Amino acid sequence: MERRFEWDVDSESVGMRVDKYISGCSLGLTRSAAENLAAKGLILKNGKPAGKSERLQAGDRMQLTLPEPEALTVAPEAIPLDILYEDDDLLVVNKPKGMVVHPAAGNHSGTLVNALLAHCGDSLSGINGVIRPGIVHRIDKDTSGLLIVAKNDFAHQHLAQQIKEHSFTRMYEAVVHGNLRQDSGTVDAPIGRHPTERKKMAVTNKASRPAVTHYEVLERFGAFTHLRLRLETGRTHQIRVHMTYLGHPVAGDPVYGPKKTPDLGGQCLHARFIGFIHPRTRQYLSFESALPSYFTAFLERLRRI
């Protein structure tokens, strides 16, 4: 069944491109998904099909049609899940390192989505399409920790809106190379595709999106620093890119870290804490995940040294 949405553009969004505006709305759509909808004529501005690069004016009337979800081609797989919380609207999952969140080229099985389909059946939101049912936000394959999954579109929209408004708290812990000068700080630097290495992201002003990461030093070890980090935005590889931009890449990072690095058994980046307002009960919920064993073992090694 098609779903239709309609709203007026506010003054803060004047001048934005249609695709960027739609991806920033509370529907949880990616920019590429917004581009595809525009190409199919499913985004209207003042009653006429809107091109993805059109600029918005205050008071423009936007209409969006989400087509009926395609038949699901991702197979359910009985993969054990570490579920911290579950109800009829959502669940909170503790993802292990090494697990990809959703199927993509080279990873068609063994993903979190495959496991969720086996656990939830048809009870997952469809806003992000058949490849990413229920996925409101993601963490990297080699990052462990907490993820929230929406079981219906109502929950998905409310949770995505909290992320957009920065009221959805996501705290990470990481060990990074080097000794940061300040005990706390903020990295406010836009992130986009790396200009020459297309599988990497980078701080750049070209085709980028705003990205803000707050950090606080927990422990110092000279050659390494243990940090707590809070995401204000959620760009691809955000913490890894921002720490590399500061000259302090995440320990064990196989992509952004130094070529010669100790074998830690994993990347020392863990989604430790999430907090949000439940979309239906309006109750504040928060969850914390213990650091994985390879992470704590490396911290103990550094303390002994």
Domain ranges of the chain: 3-66, 69-165, 169-271+295-304
Give the pair of three-digit tokens for residue 264.
């830690």
Give the pair of three-digit tokens for residue 297.
């073992």
Q: Which residue out of 19, 89, 140, 142 is catalytically annotated? A: 140
Q: Are 28 and 128 in contact (CB under 8 A)?
A: yes
- Please check whether the two domains, 69-165 and 169-271+295-304, share a CATH topology: yes
43 pLDDT higher than 60: yes
Q: What does the mean pLDDT of the chain come to?
A: 89
Give pLDDT tens digits for 222-248.
999 999 999 999 898 999 999 999 999
- Percent of the chain whose pLDDT exceeds 70: 95
Q: Which residues pair with 66 in a beta bridge?
A: 3
Q: How far is CA 152 from CA 12, 54, 63, 77, 128, in A?
A: 29, 31, 21, 20, 11
Residue 151 identity: K
298 pLDDT tier (thresholds 50, 70, 90): very high
Which pLDDT score is estimated for 87?
96
Cβ partners under 8 Å of residue 208, min gap 6: 190, 191, 192
- d(CA 204, CA 212) in angstroms, rounded, equals 13
Residue 179 identity: N
Superfamily designation of domain 169-271+295-304: Pseudouridine synthase (3.30.2350.10)
Which pLDDT score is estimated for 126?
81
220 pLDDT higher than 80: yes
Model pTM score: 0.78
Give the pair of three-digit tokens for residue 249.
């890449």
- Percent of the chain whose pLDDT exceeds 90: 54
- Closest CA relative to residue 175, chosen from 261, 82, 98: 261
**CATH architecture under which domain 69-165 falls:** 2-Layer Sandwich (3.30)
Cβ partners under 8 Å of residue 108, min gap 6: none
- Closest CA relative to residue 253, chosen from 194, 181, 177, 197: 177
Which pLDDT score is estimated for 74?
80
3-class SS string, the chain: CCEEEEEECCHHHCCCEHHHHHHCCCCCCCHHHHHHHHHCCCEEECCEECCCCCECCCCCEEEEEECCCCCCCCCCCCCCCCEEEECCCEEEEEECCCCCCCCECCECCCCHHHHHHHHHCCCCCCCCCCCCCCECCCCCCCCEEEEEEECCHHHHHHHHHHHHCCCCEEEEEEEEECCCCCCEEEEECCEEECCCCCCCEEECCCCCECCEEEEEEEEECCCEEEEEEEECCCCCCHHHHHHHHCCCCECCCCCCCCCCCCCCCCCCEEEEEEEEECCCCCCEEEEECCCCHHHHHHHHHHHHC
88 is catalytic: no
Domain 3-66 coded CATH 3.10.290.10: yes
288 pLDDT higher than 90: yes
Which pLDDT score is estimated for 247?
96
86 pLDDT higher than 90: yes
